[in-house]
Structure 1
């Protein structure tokens, strides 16, 4: 079985631009690390100056979480640059967080549905994944949750809806625990929040034989370190051996945030009882189980997944981007 693997960058193109007009690359660089995110929307001037064409701006300086103004010079008077795209600050912001060893490309089947419904979609490559560099610190879910906050600060997003899948869902839940005022609502699919939530032998699940090569190929294409997939794999596996490890009392701290815990009934990695446990531990959380689906429902059952996701997002008001 080979699950479909849609590519978020394979959508409609501008007539005079070979680059997609639906996905724009916004890269933040410090002296040591790069965090990449995509801001997705339709092109405002597809025939003259496509928004996906780069413009110059000052990079985020090391240790700061806001964009410097275009033309600002760095240390020593040297102009610092980043890839920046033009985008309207319109539409409800939705941040999509991908799973471990994947990248923002994994949301290719969801982006058109969300953009078509009028949402502003922000795709973040977690550190070490996709276009984002790994950095020198050990990977942790707490660290990656802080990365999400930094990206929100850079984009001037006071709050946003968070949609996470697998490791991305864990990051979303950590963000809701630590900084709930930034989370308008959270849809967490395929998360475990302790080691008891992982099936025995999950690392040897047969589906990984199909998915693994695709993830490695994407990393080679997108990463600044095309040969570094083995390094990323080791960093992720090291993290996952001991993380996440949260108690029910910690999960109960998620208050005032609408949360849906979702999973496939046949998830290859998460135990059958764990989603219900999470939904009980988080006050007022809802539980949604996709029948005849596994951990890769966003790919294999995209239409069903998208309907559920849009229904969840539509239940709330419009989070502010101010």
Structure 2
């Protein structure tokens, strides 16, 4: 087949057409069908690798005021919630954590469990001499927040729980095969290789934490009803992993909990629509009932 020759004057026009077609294809996607880039890391006042409970737990902080702990979701790292950290640090001392085995933190052979990760947070609070803090949690981070509220109620104030489940049957079957979620899992693996002290252990790490996901969490109604923190249950209206009826169940079961569903957003609303997400959490944390 003869090679197609393009006149030099036509090349810029052809390039423009290709760019327009790509832009049109991108615009054809709804916001909830996209996975925006992981935000750039925050310029921290302090960064630490705290030795506690047999691991080195990465944590960092910025801002001044009442403490807010920000906890990321499974497979991720604290950079994902950098937009929220920047917003909250205007009026709060914000502390982020890379959960054990995630991001820049190490792990050991101890089987994963939400009690285990929640107690890591409590141990860090003890080291930092923080008797009580509000918590903003996404997915596994929100589950940790509920775990603390149930077992250490005196240590947590308000809770923002985004994209959370309290029972394993609250998940949508095969959500990991959703294109957006699958892209997230792939990205998380690349970030793990870049950030982790054990960069080649991603598959082993996923297998280890996957065992926890098979059976946890599974709190009873009675346990959820013991939560006395003020709670905002948030989700996107197109969450790939959490059933809407389950989100509604959580909000109805935790005493006096509020619920907010963000439109045209998914399990990744905090990067899809950070402006609306941040406005909601600031209103809840800094407002009054």
Q: Shorter chain as normaliser: what TM range?
A: 0.7 to 0.9
The corresponding residue for 1:149 is 122
Any residues of structure 2 matched to 1:46-65 within 5 Å, and which? Answer: none
Partners of 2:221 and 2:52 lie apart in 1 by 36
The corresponding residue for 1:5 is 37
The corresponding residue for 2:74 is 100
* Offset at residue 291 of structure 1 (A): 1.6
Contact 1:2 1:210 survives alignment (8 Å): no
Partners of 1:4 and 1:247 lie apart in 2 by 35
Contact 2:137 2:160 survives alignment (8 Å): yes
Deviations 1:158-204 (A, max 9, x none): 10000100010111011101111110110000010101200111222
Q: After TM superposition, which residue ranges in structure 1, 4 or more long, deviate above 4 angstroms?
A: none
Partners of 1:276 and 1:6 lie apart in 2 by 29
Any residues of structure 2 matched to 1:178-257 within 5 Å, and which? Answer: 178-255=151-228, 257=229
Aligned CA RMSD, in angstroms, stands at: 1.6
Question: Residue 61 of structure 2: which of 39, 52, 55 is its match?
Answer: 39
Sort the Cα spacing of 1:166 and 1:31 in 2 relative to 1 into closer, same or farther, 3 A.
Answer: closer
Question: Residue 230 of structure 2: which of 258, 281, 284 is its match?
Answer: 258
SS at match of 1:102: coil
Unaligned runs of 5+ in 1: 12-19, 42-89, 318-322
Q: Does 1:29 align with 2:3?
A: no
Give the TM-score normalised by the residue count of structure 1. 0.76
Partners of 1:152 and 1:31 lie apart in 2 by 13
Sort the Cα spacing of 1:123 and 1:193 in 2 relative to 1 into closer, same or farther, 3 A.
Answer: same
The corresponding residue for 1:272 is 244
* Offset at residue 30 of structure 1 (A): 4.8
* Offset at residue 214 of structure 1 (A): 1.9
Partners of 1:2 and 1:268 lie apart in 2 by 12
More helix, by proportion: 2
Count, aligned residues? 257
